[in-house]
Amino acid sequence: MYDLILKNGKVVFPDGVKVVDVCIKDGKIEKIMPSVKDLTKDVIDCSGFYVLPGIIDAHVHMRTPGLTMKEDFGTGSRACAAGGITTFIDMPNTRPPTLNNDDLDEKRGFANDDSVVNFGFYIGANGKNFNDIKHVKNVAGVKVYFGAHYKDISIEDAGLLEELFKWGKMPIVIHAESEKGSYEAVKQVLHIAKKYDARVHIAHVSTDSEIEEIRKFKSEKVTCETAPHYLFLNKNAFQDLGNFAKVNPPLQTHEDQEALFKAIDDGVIEMIATDHAPHLKEEKEKSFEEAPVGVPGVETLLPLMLDIVNKGRIDIVKLVKLMCENPARIFDIKNKGKIAEGFDADLVIVDMDEKRIVRNENLFTKCGWSPFNEWELQGVPKITIVNGIKVFENGKIIAGDFRGGEVKFLQ
């Protein structure tokens, strides 16, 4: 007997969409078939709905430990569940930063206690913790803030970066900055990565110039992501949003937006991740110089992308590749990223016809706002399933005592 069957859904596979039943047992997808008898404890009729793999957001800041007035694993994971995200990977720039196994174990404890979706972590690099990095356990990769003046968690010496690439035992994720702009820093990083044939992933690409530089070096070992705020907002957003549009790197031009979409079409940009970076409203209402950078994004990522599927900008198979398959492949996440027998039962059921207006007061994120407030979007996550358990349904978190688990990275 199965624990749960999703019947008659339009299931999105790597090679297309098929109307089939998905049978779940013990947290896994046990069987996929055209029609199955209802030998189960629970059945969801998915007629007319699409069934996607759970979204993997490989770039979030859940603010734990040290900054939990902005977000924590409980509120952030519930926001993920509401947005169809079943796995997130958390960045290391917390207080204190995540620089060794002890720091990681502390985070694991918080996430195990509070997160209703699955989770993973990066370790940070500060030029002094190379030995800790070499002995780290089960992380997605090393996050390097290169040329970025972040206290206790940045590298400004290219020689130290070379040492890391020369070692090259796991993906190196780069937040690239320099006084001349992101382009020059990205260019420098790509040359070093090529020198050592290392895996490098460029975070939050936002400009045409970065794209063209990445295009020159593109290979299986050179990957990159952009974020929804760069796709859907540009410099003009400051007129309405003010500091609520202040992000790092900053919003760019309409022409850069078009270049990002073209790079998605071309396969240069292989992943979309939120860079979910919540701050309290009162922080954003300070002067421009004092206001922190960053916007929340986990609840709006999938609705924004479903909306442009409805508008014909991309197709739903491409969406799944960008937000499920490719994150799992790039970071070697075991049994995630696609709907297949034997894979984890992380799924999201979406209504492509329903329209919904984003409203700050309805968000689960602790910060309580979105730069997409009052946007009407067509395409809504209806049910989110994590490890075979329904955690979100029709606007409500229904996880109860269930908690997600740490994902397994295979590198």
Q: Is the bond leading into 96 cis (omega within 30 degrees of zero)?
A: yes
- Superfamily of structural domain 55-330: Metal-dependent hydrolases (3.20.20.140)
**Adjacent-strand bridge partners of 24:** 4, 29
d(C-alpha 404, C-alpha 115), whole Å: 6
| CA–CA gap between residue 245 and residue 45 (Å, rounded) | 40
Closest CA to 227 of 331, 297, 172: 297
Q: How far is CA 399 from the centre of its chain?
A: 21
pLDDT value of position 1:
87
Q: In the predicted model, is pLDDT for residue 149 greater than 80? A: no
For 104-141, give one letter per residue: b (16+ CB within 10 A) or e.
Answer: beebbebbeebbbbbbbbbbbbbbebeebbeebeebbb
CA distance 338 to 325: 6
Contact 388, 310 (CB under 8 A): no
pLDDT of 150 reads: 76
Banded pLDDT at 180 (limits 50, 70, 90)? low
CA distance 306 to 114: 28
Question: pLDDT tens for residues 185-209?
Answer: 999 999 999 999 999 999 999 999 9
> Under a CB-based contact definition with an 8 Å cutoff, are residues 9 and 46 in contact?
yes
- Read off the pLDDT of residues 337-370 as tens digits, 9 standing for 90 and up: 999 999 999 999 999 999 999 999 999 999 999 9
Segment 70-104, tens digit of pLDDT: 999 999 999 999 999 999 999 999 999 999 999 99
- CATH 3.40.50.720 correct for 4-51+345-363+377-397: no
Q: 101-133 pLDDT, tens per residue? A: 999 999 999 999 999 999 999 999 999 999 999
Distance CA 64, CA 272 (A): 23
Q: Where are the domains of the chain?
A: 4-51+345-363+377-397, 55-330
The reported pLDDT for the residue numbered 296 is 99
What pLDDT, on the 0 to 100 scale, is given for residue 147?
Answer: 78
The arithmetic mean of pLDDT across residues 273-281, rounded, is 99
Instruction: Note the pLDDT of residue 178.
Output: 64
What are the angstrom distances between the C-alpha of 254 and each of 34, 257, 377?
Answer: 45, 5, 20
* pTM of the predicted model over 0.85: yes
Cα dihedral 270/382/233/261 (nearest 10):
30
Mean pLDDT of 136-152: 89
Report, as residue numbers or ranges, the catalytic residues. 275
Instruction: Tell which residue, 193, 228, 234, has the closest CA to residue 214.
Output: 193
In the beta sheet, which residues pair with residue 272? 226
